[in-house]
Structure 1
Amino acid sequence: METNNLEVATFGGGCFWCTEAVFQEVKGVEKVVSGYSGGNAPGKPTYREICSGLTGHAEVIQITYDPSVISYEYILLIFMTTHDPTTLNRQGADRGTQYRSVIYYHNEKQKASAELVKDQVAKYYEDPIITEISPLDVFYEAEAEHQNYYRENQAQGYCSFVITPKLTKLRKLHAEKLK
């Protein structure tokens, strides 16, 4: 497969283990990398630093996908319907700015699509959507132990109680777009 037709999207929707597991199931997604973005701390941050909430970075994933298989807009729809985009700096029990809902756009077309999809899904939520839409500045890849976390740790408590239900919701809402 040629890789020069692939595109990249970057999102944060709480714990990156959850969002990574969701997008690893989606047809057309070639690669998902967990990482950090959106902060102001100098140098590459560590997971421990991110967890302190002092770096300003969010836990994010960077998705490499084939737009001939799945559109950026549909990827956004999956993102907006598999986490709670109405809670500020929180997803479930995970709290702090590192867990904020955010779409980091790579170009103006992605920005316009993000704003459009955010407006379209707003009517399905009782509370206002607070998802941040910002330009991607820098993406730092997370440490190796945070990559493919769900796939390698399904029996772990967080995985079975938090991530597995997210995947069940994904399968119910978006079955036609899954591998």
Structure 2
Amino acid sequence: MTTTTDYIPGDPALMLTVLRSASAGLGQQALKEKVLSLFCCDEDGTQIVLQDTPALCSRIEYASSQLKMAGLIHIAQDGTLSITPLGEAMLITYPLGIDAGVLCSLPAFRHRLYREHAPASRAIPNAAVNYGFSAGLGAHRLTENPYPADSREHEDWLMGWDEALDQDKREKETLLG
């Protein structure tokens, strides 16, 4: 068995461990112990024993912040994690792991990333996105877009409408599973 101080478990396993820890209501120390107990292997299949390093702690904090940003967990002032209803649904839907691609499928996560990392020259999407999202949730048809077809608002409304349909589809798939 190999011991290493620089190996870090992959994002899907780490995210899933944080999400499961939130479901169990664990604190930061218990979460770290759970991550340290993960069964990890290197590329050759040799088991690796994780070490408690600043890099590992940083990755745990990063995974926690990403899940919080996506609305899947809450982090209390004392560091205790709790899972949201959306987090429970994602835990059921993705039992093998959650990666950045899964998180990016969530509108709240995408919008937060966009707000924080969009180039300064690009304006934040206007209210038409939210209007389209509401229209999609309300089962309005695509042809009910109130904006001129050649406008930015028309495209933003379509984007919001499409996101609502994607979210509704994911929720229905979760209930069927």
TM-score computed with the length of structure 1 as normaliser = 0.22
Q: More helix by proportion, 1 or 2?
A: 2
Structure with the bigger RCO (C-alpha within 8 Å, sep 6+) is: 1
Q: More strand by proportion, 1 or 2?
A: 1
